[in-house]
C-alpha cells in the first residue's frame, strides 16, 4: 500500500500535470476514489485475517478439548 501512495504522490507532482491543468474538483474526486479503494482493500484484508484467526482459535479449542479427554 505504501507503493500506491508513493505512485500517487509522484503523479501529483509530475511535470505532466503542468501541461494539462486539472481542476481542483477532479483532483479531489481522484483522491476520494483512491482513498475509498484503499479503505475497501483494508476491509477485505481485515476480514480475511479475522476469519483466519477465528479458524486458528477453533483449532486451538478443539485440540485443548481433545487433550482434556
pLDDT at 63: 93
Is pLDDT at 14 greater than 90 in this prediction? Answer: no
Distance CA 59, CA 67 (A): 12
Higher pLDDT, 53 or 9: 53
The alpha carbon of 28 is separated from its chain's Cα centroid by a whole number of angstroms, namely 19
Asked whether the beta carbons of 1 and 38 are under 8 A apart, the reply is yes
Mean pLDDT of 43-47: 99
Grid coordinates in use for 39? 479503505
Grid coordinates in use for 62? 478443539
Mean pLDDT of 38-42: 99
Grid coordinates in use for 52? 483466519
Is pLDDT at 50 greater than 70 in this prediction? Answer: yes
Structural domain boundaries of the chain?
A: 26-69
Mean pLDDT of 49-67: 95
pLDDT at 22: 79
Amino acid at each position: 500500500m505504501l507503493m500506491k501512495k508513493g505512485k500517487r504522490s509522484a503523479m501529483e507532482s509530475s511535470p505532466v500535470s503542468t501541461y494539462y491543468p486539472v481542476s481542483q474538483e477532479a483532483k479531489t474526486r481522484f483522491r476520494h476514489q483512491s482513498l475509498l479503494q484503499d479503505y475497501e482493500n483494508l476491509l477485505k484484508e481485515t476480514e480475511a485475517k479475522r476469519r483466519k484467526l477465528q479458524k486458528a482459535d477453533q483449532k486451538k479449542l478443539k485440540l485443548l478439548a481433545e487433550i482434556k479427554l
